[in-house]
Amino acid sequence: MFGSLGFTEMILILFIVLIVFGAGKLPQLGEGIGKAIKGFKKSSQEADAIEPEAQAAQQQTAAAPQQAVPQPTAQVSASVEQPAAPVHSASRG
């Protein structure tokens, strides 16, 4: 049925799920799984429809001549501030 899982293993898994989630949560769990599968199928179909459009746009971009865009140059200030020398007041008295 599901690869190497037999009927007995499936019954055991369903029994464990029933114990973990309880009988009240099983309909909600099934509904959530169903919505997830439906959403996955819908998004995969949308991705298949968008893929040819993306490839066409990519080919048009590759075929267009590349224009050189001048890069702005950064001006670096050469001024370096030096810390003030410490003032020592030595008073002997």
Assess if residue 8 is contained within a domain: yes
Assess if residue 84 is contained within a domain: no
Q: Is the pTM of this model over 0.85?
A: no
HSE value, Cβ hemisphere, 13 Å, CA-based, for 59: 6
Q: Residues 23-68: pLDDT tens digits? A: 888 888 889 999 999 999 998 888 887 777 777 777 777 766 555 5
Question: Are 57 and 50 within 8 A, CB to CB?
Answer: no
Q: How far is CA 27 from CA 13, 42, 53, in A?
A: 16, 22, 40
Assess if residue 57 is contained within a domain: no
Separation CA 49–CA 42 (nearest Å) = 11
Assess if residue 36 is contained within a domain: yes
Assess if residue 79 is contained within a domain: no
Range of the domain at 41: 1-49
The better pLDDT of the pair 16, 59 is held by: 16
The pLDDT of residue 73 is 62
Assess if residue 80 is contained within a domain: no
Assess if residue 15 is contained within a domain: yes
User: Domain count of the chain?
Assistant: 1
Question: In the predicted model, is pLDDT for residue 19 greater than 80?
Answer: yes
Q: What percent of the chain has pLDDT over 70?
A: 63
